[in-house]
Structure 1
């Protein structure tokens, strides 16, 4: 990880300093050398909190009495009041006899100094080996786990974190969550982090008293809107948050999600709109028929990143009933099963008007693709089956985009 990226991610992480869940899943968390600065009884998030708070105190200038109007004391006082005492930006600006804009500039400089200090002390000097110094991006270490998610539920799960953050900022959160589900294909952990980081970016630019966050379902896409008012200095604040936004955009691209930004004209105040846009997804179901539970688990693992719902049954006699009820997009059918083999099940499915059009992938240890196709199978795979082979078939059957 490069220094610039570390500083960008650190500024995002410290905004959630007292939320253990967010810190644990933050992309920067895994790079902290916690094992070398903390005992094993402390969780990673708590150790990171402790490290950051200690480093803030080490920025305190010499002398017993703080000097609010002293440039030497101001970085420490801003960080101490903000992250140790939990005071709002407006209260801190008032206590230091500076305006809101001056606070933003000084706060940014103070975070720059703190993050640079932590980088130098723990990431490139004696406290830890320089093995993480190469420019590997932390997002490359994150294994994507796509699944079908309800956007309303995901945002609802973040409500407590967001409300607490806005209470600290002395701002109002206008949150609108629809009662009906809005389904998308995404990684839950990554989506939560993207939303928190986008809100954090919005707060850097927000000059009004509130920030709006709401969801919208459109025919061709689903959208999360973040709207707020900014002042004439929005370009400067945007420049400071540019690296964070670029990093968030790279996360979103991994899930095929777009981020759209709209700002006022340069030098003018006005409304800022950030939109997180998801392509509409079809609800795809695959029914797996195999008498071996281990085989069902294998298919579930192979398909866990696709967003496809998997239904598995071990009794082949239930196949026709389940297929009629569920109407899956595909049936994966084992051949060698007791009491009723796969060939019999295949013929029964083909003869029933309610299941005859469902494509069937036959899987067998015997190399018999001709027999499978002659009985109406859409595809055939010889066991043992590799994940790449299975996904290739799904692409051919238009079950994966």
Structure 2
């Protein structure tokens, strides 16, 4: 799999850019703040429908614009598909495949698969549980796109149930018919939350189980003298099981969640929020017998974060895919040993897109086809510009029939 063409309009710092890409290594070089990360962010957005830097879509739209668009033509096993999404301020995003409108943006999932390693990944080890939950969910969706619908259903029910819980406390204090009606309504939402939550939890458990051996191998290759890296999915629901939770059926998980919701109802009404479900879970990352968070050194944490991404790459490959590898300004953060290990993986990948502040940040083997990112205009409205290292403009749209294999547009 590789991206043959990337086109952005009003995305972050880019007003318009249209660039033809190739298999192999492509490098975007530019000073910090010039917009090179925005290019890999756009590609990863098409693969996951989310940004690795911000939680909402609004910051992706260039200042002063009402919408942004990302288009990529993806070559996969002799077939090409063009995925396109319009990110619209205050309205639902719109997606197209080969110019034909999609019913919903998540129909794009699966056209492009990518694995992104960025400085923000250190938070997978040192940060809050939400980042680790998203890591597992994104990987599950890359492997099985339908899981995006299950996650969306769960989040929709969770939001509505939380809204009901916020009013349930006052109703319970008043008593009477209002309280009885509200408690009956909660029963209905409990059933839906348990059904969708069990589906999402089963998908997460399957991904963590499949990823575990790849993680141990990847970490050992990066830090051979360190302790073994392992992971385990943690959930309060597992208190309901006598055996291994990973072997539980969806029906078992649903029953466990319903029971946990029943036992937690009074506390949830008092606090006005849902206290049970996959939105409360975490991924327990360990080095030897200790949790990586709080015990791993800085170097061990970087190795762990990188191992998570390399393990993801190998897991997707094991499923018959060859995802695009996106490396965003990470070589400057790594020591020589880790740089070499990452470069070896990159050279064995069909397409690698790398960003760096200066070419010297990269191992010599990765100083391949290079584009330079610059900016123009006054500081408050400046826009990013792209040119090849040979000085050819790469920021103007290509005319039909002008694209040459390996050429810039």
Q: TM-score, normalised by structure 2?
A: 0.23
More strand by share: 2
State the structure with bigger RCO (CA 8 A, min sep 6), 1 or 2.
Answer: 2
Pick the structure with greater CA Rg: 1
Q: TM-score, normalised by structure 1?
A: 0.23
